[in-house]
Structure 1
Amino acid sequence: MAALFAGYWVAWGSTAFLTWALPMSRANRVTTASLLCFAVWTVAAMYAFAARSAWHAWWMLLLIGAALYAPALMFAAEAMRP
Protein backbone atom coordinates (compact mmCIF):
# COMPACT_ATOMS: atom_id res chain seq x y z
CA MET A 1 0.00 0.00 0.00
CA ALA A 2 2.89 2.37 0.74
CA ALA A 3 4.36 1.73 -2.69
CA LEU A 4 1.04 2.46 -4.34
CA PHE A 5 -0.38 5.41 -2.42
CA ALA A 6 2.65 7.08 -0.84
CA GLY A 7 4.63 6.44 -4.02
CA TYR A 8 1.90 8.24 -5.96
CA TRP A 9 2.11 11.14 -3.50
CA VAL A 10 5.88 11.40 -4.12
CA ALA A 11 5.35 11.28 -7.89
CA TRP A 12 2.67 13.95 -7.68
CA GLY A 13 4.87 16.14 -5.49
CA SER A 14 7.81 15.72 -7.83
CA THR A 15 5.65 16.70 -10.78
CA ALA A 16 4.52 19.85 -8.97
CA PHE A 17 8.09 20.65 -7.96
CA LEU A 18 9.53 20.12 -11.43
CA THR A 19 6.87 22.25 -13.10
CA TRP A 20 8.10 25.02 -10.83
CA ALA A 21 11.85 24.37 -10.97
CA LEU A 22 12.70 23.40 -14.55
CA PRO A 23 14.15 26.22 -16.70
CA MET A 24 11.92 25.76 -19.76
CA SER A 25 8.73 27.15 -21.16
CA ARG A 26 5.60 26.23 -19.22
CA ALA A 27 4.40 23.63 -21.71
CA ASN A 28 7.79 21.91 -21.80
CA ARG A 29 8.05 21.96 -18.00
CA VAL A 30 4.67 20.28 -17.60
CA THR A 31 5.40 17.66 -20.24
CA THR A 32 8.87 16.87 -18.88
CA ALA A 33 7.68 16.74 -15.28
CA SER A 34 4.75 14.51 -16.19
CA LEU A 35 6.99 12.05 -18.00
CA LEU A 36 9.60 12.02 -15.22
CA CYS A 37 6.95 11.31 -12.58
CA PHE A 38 6.70 7.70 -13.80
CA ALA A 39 10.38 7.15 -13.07
CA VAL A 40 9.98 8.83 -9.67
CA TRP A 41 7.03 6.60 -8.84
CA THR A 42 9.07 3.53 -9.77
CA VAL A 43 11.94 4.59 -7.50
CA ALA A 44 9.50 5.35 -4.66
CA ALA A 45 7.92 1.92 -5.04
CA MET A 46 11.32 0.24 -4.96
CA TYR A 47 12.15 2.19 -1.82
CA ALA A 48 8.89 1.11 -0.19
CA PHE A 49 9.79 -2.53 -0.69
CA ALA A 50 13.38 -2.01 0.47
CA ALA A 51 12.54 -0.05 3.64
CA ARG A 52 13.24 -1.50 7.07
CA SER A 53 9.58 -1.46 8.08
CA ALA A 54 6.22 -0.49 6.66
CA TRP A 55 5.99 2.53 8.95
CA HIS A 56 9.41 3.73 7.84
CA ALA A 57 8.37 3.42 4.20
CA TRP A 58 5.13 5.33 4.77
CA TRP A 59 6.63 8.20 6.74
CA MET A 60 9.66 8.71 4.53
CA LEU A 61 7.62 8.72 1.34
CA LEU A 62 4.99 11.04 2.81
CA LEU A 63 7.66 13.46 4.02
CA ILE A 64 9.49 13.43 0.70
CA GLY A 65 6.25 14.06 -1.17
CA ALA A 66 5.33 16.94 1.13
CA ALA A 67 8.80 18.48 0.78
CA LEU A 68 8.52 18.33 -2.99
CA TYR A 69 4.99 19.72 -3.08
CA ALA A 70 5.61 22.61 -0.66
CA PRO A 71 7.47 24.95 -3.10
CA ALA A 72 4.68 24.59 -5.64
CA LEU A 73 2.19 25.68 -3.00
CA MET A 74 4.35 28.56 -1.80
CA PHE A 75 4.98 29.88 -5.31
CA ALA A 76 1.67 29.00 -6.93
CA ALA A 77 1.82 31.96 -9.30
CA GLU A 78 5.04 30.73 -10.89
CA ALA A 79 4.20 27.04 -10.72
CA MET A 80 1.49 25.13 -12.44
CA ARG A 81 0.23 22.40 -10.17
CA PRO A 82 -0.40 19.08 -11.93
Structure 2
Amino acid sequence: MKFPTFPKGSTRKQRRKIMSEFKQKLSPQDRLAYELEKKRNRKNGRRKYEPNPLPETPLGFSKEELKQVDWSNT
Protein backbone atom coordinates (compact mmCIF):
# COMPACT_ATOMS: atom_id res chain seq x y z
CA MET A 1 0.00 0.00 0.00
CA LYS A 2 1.80 3.12 -1.25
CA PHE A 3 0.54 6.34 0.27
CA PRO A 4 -0.17 9.07 -2.32
CA THR A 5 2.00 12.16 -2.55
CA PHE A 6 0.50 15.58 -3.11
CA PRO A 7 1.79 18.08 -5.66
CA LYS A 8 3.47 21.12 -4.17
CA GLY A 9 1.09 24.03 -3.69
CA SER A 10 -2.04 21.89 -4.01
CA THR A 11 -5.24 23.10 -2.40
CA ARG A 12 -7.09 21.22 0.32
CA LYS A 13 -9.81 20.31 -2.17
CA GLN A 14 -7.22 18.73 -4.53
CA ARG A 15 -5.61 16.79 -1.68
CA ARG A 16 -8.99 15.49 -0.50
CA LYS A 17 -9.81 14.34 -4.05
CA ILE A 18 -6.46 12.49 -4.31
CA MET A 19 -7.11 10.82 -0.94
CA SER A 20 -10.66 9.76 -1.85
CA GLU A 21 -9.41 8.21 -5.12
CA PHE A 22 -6.66 6.43 -3.16
CA LYS A 23 -9.17 5.02 -0.66
CA GLN A 24 -11.46 3.74 -3.45
CA LYS A 25 -8.61 1.80 -5.06
CA LEU A 26 -7.69 0.01 -1.81
CA SER A 27 -8.54 -3.64 -1.31
CA PRO A 28 -10.76 -4.40 1.74
CA GLN A 29 -7.76 -5.72 3.67
CA ASP A 30 -5.67 -2.64 2.88
CA ARG A 31 -8.61 -0.38 3.75
CA LEU A 32 -8.84 -1.97 7.21
CA ALA A 33 -5.09 -1.58 7.70
CA TYR A 34 -5.31 2.08 6.64
CA GLU A 35 -8.14 2.81 9.10
CA LEU A 36 -6.26 1.12 11.96
CA GLU A 37 -3.09 3.07 11.14
CA LYS A 38 -5.09 6.30 11.07
CA LYS A 39 -6.57 5.58 14.51
CA ARG A 40 -3.16 4.64 15.90
CA ASN A 41 -1.59 7.85 14.58
CA ARG A 42 -4.42 9.89 16.07
CA LYS A 43 -3.82 8.33 19.49
CA ASN A 44 -0.07 8.87 19.18
CA GLY A 45 -0.67 12.50 18.36
CA ARG A 46 -2.69 12.94 21.54
CA ARG A 47 -0.02 11.25 23.61
CA LYS A 48 2.64 13.58 22.23
CA TYR A 49 1.39 16.58 24.24
CA GLU A 50 1.39 14.93 27.67
CA PRO A 51 4.07 16.42 29.93
CA ASN A 52 7.19 14.34 30.37
CA PRO A 53 7.04 12.16 33.49
CA LEU A 54 9.32 13.33 36.28
CA PRO A 55 12.51 11.30 36.66
CA GLU A 56 12.71 9.00 39.68
CA THR A 57 15.53 11.00 41.22
CA PRO A 58 16.11 14.76 41.05
CA LEU A 59 18.57 16.19 38.54
CA GLY A 60 19.13 12.80 36.93
CA PHE A 61 21.42 11.34 39.61
CA SER A 62 21.15 7.59 40.05
CA LYS A 63 19.99 6.23 43.42
CA GLU A 64 23.44 4.71 44.02
CA GLU A 65 25.13 8.09 43.55
CA LEU A 66 22.72 9.69 46.03
CA LYS A 67 23.44 6.97 48.61
CA GLN A 68 27.20 7.68 48.41
CA VAL A 69 26.74 11.38 49.27
CA ASP A 70 27.40 12.40 52.87
CA TRP A 71 24.11 13.96 53.98
CA SER A 72 25.16 14.53 57.64
CA ASN A 73 25.99 18.22 57.17
CA THR A 74 22.65 19.16 55.61
TM-score (norm 2): 0.31
Pair member with larger Rg = 2
Higher helix residue share? 1
Greater length-normalized contact order (CA 8 Å, ≥ 6 residues apart) = 1
